A and B are shown apart, each in its own frame.
Chain A
Amino acid sequence: MITASSFAWFARHELRLSWRDLYAMLSANRPGRGRRILIAAATILATLHLLAWAALKQATDHGIAADLPTLVMVSGFLLLPISLMASQAMESITRAFYTRSDLELILASPAPARKLFAVRMLAIAIATSGLTLIVSAPAIDVLAVTVGPRFLLAYPVILAFGLFAAATAILFTMGMFVLIGPARTRLFAQIAAAIVGAGFVIGVQLLAIASIGSISRFEFLRSDYLLSVAPAIDHWIYLPARGAMGDAASALSVLVFSLVLFAATLLATAGQYAGIVLKAGSIDIDPGRRRHTKVSFAPRSPAAMLRGKEWKLLLRDKWLMSQTLMQLLYLIPPAFMLWHSFGAGNTMMIVAVPVIVMAAGQLAGGLAWLAISGEDAPELVTTAPVSPGQVLRAKVEAVLSAVAIVVAPLLIATAFASPVAALIGAAGACAAVLSSTLIQLWFRSQAKRSNFRRRQTSSRIATLAEAFSSILWAGATGLWVAGSFVALAVAFAVLTGLAITWAISPARIDFAARRALRHRPAPA
């Protein structure tokens, strides 16, 4: 029997909540979908295993030796999940400090908060490892079957990464709390999490462009340049790679190191948890900031008021703005590439322009969600004497102009290198932005702006359609820049996808219902 308020008791409580959250997310809050989810998960895993088998077959046929090029390559690929795990852990830990939910109940009870903290941090470490474990499982399993079961040691190595990432994230977040206070930590920890997450990929791409003139991580990791500057084969830095490739001693040492680091971090910080949560909570009850902004009631059209409101709210919400603009981090490599390859002709444009198009589409999707679904006073706007068309037009204009401000400088820079590529890029960006905005319009579902990061869970179809259209418009643009007529086929595929998305969207059903109502008979 589990004693109340013990570590195990809290663990059971957390496990139950996490399981229900996960199930609700997978089933889109619809009951009785357990079997369907299981079948879908099994199908996806089987497909991923097949893909992994096909991708790794050639490598495993020739055997895998722990030589320097392989260790460098594996270490490089292991660094990517570590940076993503650290990012995820930082974000989860920040949320654990600031999200009130049940904290007030638990902190007001005589139960020891440090035990809850320990359980929540462990849960974060496991959840952080879990996603990487699921994604890596097909490759690990294929290697274990085709090369040898020693490759199963990659699982504890990934778990060790999760523990390491959680420990460093706890230390980082608590350090920020002490140094810059609770209000700033919330904002900066989230920004830091995004930068850490994207940092490795972007850093490698920048290094790749600067050293070998290519944006490809794969080419960079196997380049002579990297091998010439990499540490010697017996360096400790290759321990995780050796462990993941089946060396038991290396795997064990990585796991023990991470466990010790995680346990020491918990022991050192758990006692401060309650105090931090209370301080984090107190920033919410600070009186609103006093700021004498000019309010003139100047005559403006309702559309102008709506546009102005959207920009004002976005500019004033630093967290929201950072989250929205975070996608632009991925524009740094193509921008660097543009600068690096200035005058090099069209070759680089084929890579750089599609990235701009994709970023424009994704940015528009985020902004459109904020403007269309993330309306904090939807009833006010709906009851105003402004036609729904006017409201939508104003919101779309707000989105388009914000995206234009961000993307235009990059397209202008492109124009200096290749005016034609810039024009094609502009056309692709317009198509991607309009598609993302339309999808958000068709799948609007009211939510608080603060739920921005959970917007993908409201409609899987909208999320997929948005990603599909942005990626394919980017592809079509790249092909067009390369002079390939396949671009037309890709564009046609996107338009077909958009038509299907409209056909199954709630907006079409609503449109039909409103049309029927307009032609209703008068009551007797």
Chain B
Amino acid sequence: MSVPDALAIAALNKRYSRPAVRDLTLTIRPGEFYALLGPNGAGKTTTLKMVAGLLVPDSGRISVFGHDTVDDPLGAKRVTAWVPDEPMIYDRLTPLEYLEFVAGLWEVPQERAKKTAGEVLDILQLAPHAHERCEGFSKGMRQKVALAGALIHEPKLIILDEPLTGLDAGSARLVKDVLLRRVEEGCTVILTTHILEVAERMAQRIGVIAQGRLVCEGTLAELRMANGGRAGSGGGQDSLEEIFLKVVADSAASEGAEPAGKTGRAA
């Protein structure tokens, strides 16, 4: 029996006052670390919010480990964790109480929840603060509490929107280590980031969205090849930053003509 894709998006569209996501098709395999990049307003967060069930698509389909997010939203949610850029936690709960609440929502068995809570609090260095209310916590601490909430129910897919923004070097390193370890254990991670170095070092595959379309996708090596071949820069060794700037500029230039996603896609 074949294992379903961790995430399969087909012909996804979402429009506010202007189109935010246009005919987006994307597949992510189980156990993959995928970075979704794009300039501000490109449609990254909108896409991920639709995957997490926070926004309803205008058209198209999203499937998380075989669960359609519209037809079987609970099935999809059961295996997914969403970590927004601005950690949303309860000021008047302690981290431990927050984890108890999240575990309750995902109906994690008591013993497993207790054990996992202890582990994630330790890993994220939150154990000394486990009984303090979150109201005085720094941005980094709040982000770690939110991440702990995402890990407590051991999801198969973790979606993170700009998880490293505003974190100090130590906290950022910790979060990256935790995510890499989860991927090693078989979890699928999708993150958006403006820190291209993070995508370059951590992601197995990278997708670039511009003007709501997927304009480029592949491993770093594939992107370099595709970019070198297309832009004729003598390519092959361009940094992700250079590739990113080129594909985004190309997309803006070709907007209204042939969709850039088809031409820039790595083989």
The finding on whether chains A and B are genuine partners in a shared complex, rather than unrelated, reads yes
Binding site for B on A (CB under 8 A): 284-293, 295-302, 304-306, 309, 312-313, 316-317, 376-387, 513-514, 517-518, 520, 522-524
Known contacts A295-B96, A376-B88, A386-B74; A302/B133 CB under 8 A: no
Q: Which of A377, A378, A387, A518 contacts B70 (CB 8 A)?
A: A518
> How many Å lie between the Cα of A293 and that of B92 in the bound state?
12
Query: Which of chain A's residues have a CB closer than 8 A to the CB of B100?
Result: 295-297, 305
Among the stretches B49-57, B178-186, B217-225, B231-239, the one at the interface with A is B49-57
Q: Which of A298, A313, A386 contacts B90 (CB 8 A)?
A: A313
Interface of chain B: mostly helix, strand, loop or mixed: mixed
A377/B94 in contact, CB under 8 A: no
B54/A383 in contact, CB under 8 A: yes
- The residue of chain A having its C-beta at the shortest distance from the C-beta of B11 within the complex is A523
Known contacts A285-B136, A302-B104, A376-B88; A383/B94 CB under 8 A: no
> How many Å lie between the Cα of A383 and that of B55 in the bound state?
10
B78/A385 in contact, CB under 8 A: yes
Q: Is B242 an interface residue (CB 8 A)?
A: no
Query: Which of chain A's residues have a CB closer than 8 A to the CB of B73?
Result: 387
Q: Which of B10, B80, B92 contacts A383 (CB 8 A)?
A: B80
B101/A316 in contact, CB under 8 A: no
B132/A383 in contact, CB under 8 A: no
A293/B94 in contact, CB under 8 A: yes
Query: Which of chain B's residues have a CB closer than 8 A to the CB of A298?
Result: 110
A379/B82 in contact, CB under 8 A: yes
> How many Å lie between the Cα of A316 and that of B134 in the bound state?
13
Q: Is B114 an interface residue (CB 8 A)?
A: yes
Q: Is B113 an interface residue (CB 8 A)?
A: yes
Query: Which of chain A's residues have a CB closer than 8 A to the CB of B70?
Result: 517-518, 520
Apart from A302-B107, A380-B149: 9 A-B pairs, beta carbons within 8 A: A296-B100, A309-B93, A312-B92, A313-B92, A316-B92, A376-B89, A385-B77, A387-B74, A523-B11
Query: Which of chain B's residues have a CB closer than 8 A to the CB of A312?
Result: 92-93, 97
B88/A377 in contact, CB under 8 A: yes
> How many Å lie between the Cα of A155 and that of B98 in the bound state?
54
B88/A290 in contact, CB under 8 A: no
Interface residues of B in 192-241 (CB under 8 A from A): none
Query: Which of chain B's residues have a CB closer than 8 A to the CB of A383?
Result: 52-54, 77, 80-82
List 18 contacting pairs A-B, 8 Å CB cutoff, sorted by A.
A284-B136, A288-B135, A288-B137, A293-B94, A296-B100, A297-B108, A299-B109, A301-B104, A309-B93, A312-B92, A312-B93, A316-B92, A379-B84, A383-B77, A383-B80, A385-B106, A517-B70, A523-B61
> How many Å lie between the Cα of A253 and that of B7 in the bound state?
77
> How many Å lie between the Cα of A522 and that of B59 in the bound state?
9
CB distance from A210 to the nearest CB of B (A): 41
- The residue of chain A having its C-beta at the shortest distance from the C-beta of B78 within the complex is A385
Query: Which of chain B's residues have a CB closer than 8 A to the CB of A313?
Result: 90, 92-93
Q: Is B257 an interface residue (CB 8 A)?
A: no
B10/A523 in contact, CB under 8 A: yes
- Among A292, A378, A383, max chain B CB count under 10 A is at A383
- Provide the B40-73 mask, 1 if CB < 8 A to any CB of A, else 0: 0000000000001110110111000000001101
CB distance from B41 to the nearest CB of A (A): 20
Q: Is B131 an interface residue (CB 8 A)?
A: yes
Query: Which of chain A's residues have a CB closer than 8 A to the CB of B110?
Result: 296-299
Q: Is B102 an interface residue (CB 8 A)?
A: yes
Query: Which of chain A's residues have a CB closer than 8 A to the CB of B11?
Result: 523-524
A304/B135 in contact, CB under 8 A: no
Q: Which of B10, B77, B103 contacts A297 (CB 8 A)?
A: B103
Query: Which of chain B's residues have a CB closer than 8 A to the CB of A284?
Result: 136
Query: Which of chain A's residues have a CB closer than 8 A to the CB of B132?
Result: 287-291
> How many Å lie between the Cα of A313 and that of B117 in the bound state?
21
Q: Is B255 an interface residue (CB 8 A)?
A: no
> How many Å lie between the Cα of A276 and that of B173 in the bound state?
39
- The residue of chain A having its C-beta at the shortest distance from the C-beta of B58 within the complex is A517
CB distance from A512 to the nearest CB of B (A): 12
Query: Which of chain B's residues have a CB closer than 8 A to the CB of A382?
Result: 52-54
- Among A304, A382, A522, max chain B CB count under 10 A is at A382
- The residue of chain A having its C-beta at the shortest distance from the C-beta of B132 within the complex is A288
> How many Å lie between the Cα of A309 and that of B101 in the bound state?
7
A517/B57 in contact, CB under 8 A: yes
CB distance from B69 to the nearest CB of A (A): 11
CB distance from A445 to the nearest CB of B (A): 15
Query: Which of chain A's residues have a CB closer than 8 A to the CB of B84?
Result: 379
> How many Å lie between the Cα of A522 and that of B77 in the bound state?
21
> How many Å lie between the Cα of A507 and that of B54 in the bound state?
16
Q: Is B91 an interface residue (CB 8 A)?
A: yes
Q: Is B1 an interface residue (CB 8 A)?
A: no
Q: Which of A292, A300, A305, A380 contacts B88 (CB 8 A)?
A: A380
- The residue of chain B having its C-beta at the shortest distance from the C-beta of A381 within the complex is B105
Query: Which of chain B's residues have a CB closer than 8 A to the CB of A518?
Result: 70-71
- The residue of chain A having its C-beta at the shortest distance from the C-beta of B108 within the complex is A297
Query: Which of chain B's residues have a CB closer than 8 A to the CB of A386?
Result: 74, 77, 105
Q: Which of B92, B113, B117, B131 contacts A317 (CB 8 A)?
A: B92
A522/B131 in contact, CB under 8 A: no
Query: Which of chain A's residues have a CB closer than 8 A to the CB of B92?
Result: 312-313, 316-317
